[in-house]
Every structure is written in C-alpha cells, then in structure tokens.
Amino acid sequence: MDLLLVEDKDSFRRLLTRALEGSVWSVRAVADPQEALKALVERPAQVLVTDLRLPGMSGLELIRRARHLQPGLRVVLMSAFGEPKDIVEAMKLGADDFLPKPFDLDAFLALLDRLRALVGAPPPNPAEPWIAFSPAMQALDLALCRAADSTLPVLFRGERGAGKGRAARRLHLLRHPAAPYLALAAATLGPEGPEPATLQLLQGGSLYLAGLEHLRPEAVRPLAQAMDGALGQGLHWMAGAPDGIPLPAALAQRLGTLELRVPPLRERREDLLPLITHFLEWAAAREGRPTPWLEHGAERALFEHGWPGNVRELEVLAGRTLLFAEGHAIRHFPDLRLGEAVPMCLPWPPEGSLDAMLKALGREAEAQLLGRALREAQGDLLLAAEGLGLTPRVMAQRLRDHGIPLEDGGWPLPKKAP
C-alpha cells in the first residue's frame, strides 16, 4: 500500500521512513507540499501523513488540495503546535486522525494498521440516504435496528435490484459505522474460500457476500469453515440471495438463522418520489447541472409503471432522464431500453498536465463502461464479466476500485465530501 509522508524536518522524516521499512507500506517521503501534490498526480496514494507547519503551504491547505485530487485519500495530521481549531478544521477536511508530536512509534504503527483496514475495506458513506417512508421499508428498518443489537449472520432475501446490498450497508452503519466493510461477489470465491488476509483486514467489521446464488459448489465447505474459524468469528457476516433459492445445508445452518426480506419497489410506492429525487440530485451534481423537477405527468408515470427492475431500474431511469432533459422541468421519461446506445458523458478532469488529465478521463470512462455492463446484465456479475472479457474476480475488483457496489445497478455511490 502506498503512503505519502510530508515532513520538512529531515531527521524526523528519516525516522518515520525507517520505522515503516519491511512493512506493507510503500513510502514516498517529501519535504515540500508542492512536491507532495505532484507525487499524488503522478501516482495516487492510499494514506497521506503530513505535518501541520510546512514551507509555503500549511498542512491544512495540503489536505484540502490532496483530497480534491483524491477524495478517498486517508489522512493523518501531525503537529507539535496543533491548536484545537486546527484539529477541528483538519477533521472537517477529511483527516482521519491527529498525532501530537512527539508520539510513540508503536502508536503510529497501530494507527496505520487501522487505516490499512479502512483503505482495503472502507466503511459505507454515512451520508448515503436511507429512504423508508413506505410501511414495508419501515418494517425492514425496524428489523435492521433489532438485528444491529445481535451478532447473528444475516441473509437478505429479495428480487434482483431491490436493494439487498443497500440494506446490508444500512445494517453495518447501525452496528459499527467506523469499522471496515467489504462487499464480495460470492461468484469470486474459489475452492480456497475467503482469503485469510481479507478476513484479517475485516476484524471488527462486516463482510457482505453478494449474489450467494452464484456461489460455486466447491466453495461452500471452505466458506463454512471460514465462518467458523477464529478470523471468521471476529467479524459480522451478511449475504444476499433471491427469494426461493435454497441454500446448501452447510450455509443454511450458518446464514439461515436470521433472514430479512427487502421489498420490491412495487411494494413501496411511497418511496418512489423521494428515491427518484435523490437519484436526480446525485446525477445532476455529478454532471455539474441544476437538478430538474418533475411535472405532474411525470409523477403519474412513475406510479403507473410496474417496476420489474426495482430500485436499479429507477436509478437507470434517473440517469437517462437527466441525459436527455431539456430545461429545468421533466415532463415525461425516456423509454427505458438498456441496450439502446447513448452518448458517454465525461466530466472535466482536475487541471494538470495533459497526461494526468487523460489518465483521469480514462479512469472515469472505465467506471462508466463497467457500470453500463453491470446494468445491461441486470446486476448479474457473471454475465457482465463475460461480456467484457473479464473473470468475475477481476470484474468485482474493478467495480470495488471505482466504488460501484455490486447490488446497486452499476451506479457509483456519491463520495464523502472532501
């Protein structure tokens, strides 16, 4: 994992660098904040450790600019002169922790271990809306609140696209919002089961197995053994599967104790307008456009539709509607045909060198292509991976890299504000 260290005192910079030798961290150490920003443009880092007082730019300004370049960057601020207002400001800018100098190296290494887990399995965004106005969703929310007080594994049942992954993230946030969280496609598990390194990373957090119906038979026994092992006992297990699909006996004994049903969208009509409003607001913010509003005819069309694609279909509809919308009012919705060719819209990248901007555009284009493939496959990871010439494991990893949850129809979630 890449760590960028910014410290203008040569001796202390060398001390911290030596402390990390032989560890999982690949350290780039610089003294100047401008060099740090240049290093981030050339190659992203997972963690930034910076002093508060730096030549030419404060650590706070460096954090602000660095997180603009890389919104998911984990940050540690160090200082011997940190005022409470500086610490508060650093936290507002997205810093994860503050280390007052001098500090114990063991405490520094322990903090990096915690950040390593959060880098590898970041917690869900607590700002992600949970829309539950309908009686069916209010009943689910009550069940989630009760489940949060237990350590039982939870199996989410429901139709494809209903939001099983979203319900899993909600449960994780109710249990332990700052702990690591990982959604793993069950189809990517092989005869070796979950990797011990992954389970170690998730200690104290949650693992959600998406698409349990795609679990290969040879992975059943290793998965059950992992759940019973010492590492498996140190995390919360969740999984998602369609209604009516029986589980293998070994998993039914472990995941079938607590089943929660996620209702399809046609059973939660009260949530239609809040959901479409949220999706339109997010899509408009992503494109830098004002959010349009729905006229009555468009609202009626929402309620008259049968929603066989559930929440996923509504997300796709919001994105397509914004793409073709003219003006600030939506009078009707475009015909929803997922295979229809639509133009790719790429946001302007952060200013920088041509190579850096092209690299940023390439990453955004990859995210859109992955998301479209997943949407056209109706959330079926195996089918989407096959269409792109990828293995399910590679496809799942690339979706994770772009923040595209497996259960959410190929739309990246909004990032935490920097």
DSSP codes joined into one string, 273-318: HHHHHHHHHHHHHHHT-PPPEE-HHHHHHHHHS--TTHHHHHHHHH
Q: Which residue segments constitute the domains of the chain, with CATH numbers given?
A: 2-120 (3.40.50.2300), 135-263 (3.40.50.300), 267-401 (1.10.8.60)
pLDDT, residue 158, reads: 94
Alpha-carbon distance of 17 to 273, in angstroms, equals 53
pLDDT, residue 412, reads: 46
pLDDT, residue 140, reads: 98
> Which residue in this structure is represented by tokens 């089943």?
259
Query: pTM score, two decimals?
Result: 0.76
pLDDT, residue 401, reads: 77
| Confidence label for 342 from pLDDT (cuts 50, 70 and 90) | low
* CB within 8 Å of 226: residues ≥ 6 apart: 193, 194, 199, 232
Reply yes or no on whether the pLDDT at 279 is more than 50: yes
Average pLDDT of the chain to the nearest whole number? 88
Element (H, E) at 141: helix 135-147
DSSP per-residue string spanning 144-199: HHHHTTS---EEEE--TTS-HHHHHHHHHHHH-TTS-EEEEEGGG--TT-S-HHHH
User: What percent of the chain stands above pLDDT 90?
Assistant: 52
Calculate mean pLDDT across residues 232-245. Answer: 95
Alpha-carbon distance of 250 to 244, in angstroms, equals 17
Higher pLDDT, 4 or 314: 4
Reply yes or no on whether the pLDDT at 324 is more than 80: no
Mean pLDDT is lowest, of 25-39, 251-265, 278-292, 339-353, for 339-353
Alpha-carbon distance of 257 to 152, in angstroms, equals 7
Mean pLDDT is lowest, of 36-45, 169-178, 370-379, for 370-379
Residue 177 and residue 126 in contact, taking contact as beta carbons nearer than 8 Å: yes
Higher pLDDT, 53 or 352: 53
DSSP per-residue string spanning 57-103: S-HHHHHHHHHHH-TT-EEEEEESS--HHHHHHHHHTT--EEEESS-
Tell me the Ramachandran region of residue 135: left when phi exceeds 0, alpha when psi lies from -120 to 50, beta otherwise: alpha
pLDDT, residue 410, reads: 44
| Confidence label for 414 from pLDDT (cuts 50, 70 and 90) | very low
Residue 374 neighbours by CB distance under 10 Å: 27
> Which residue in this structure is represented by tokens 């660098």?
17
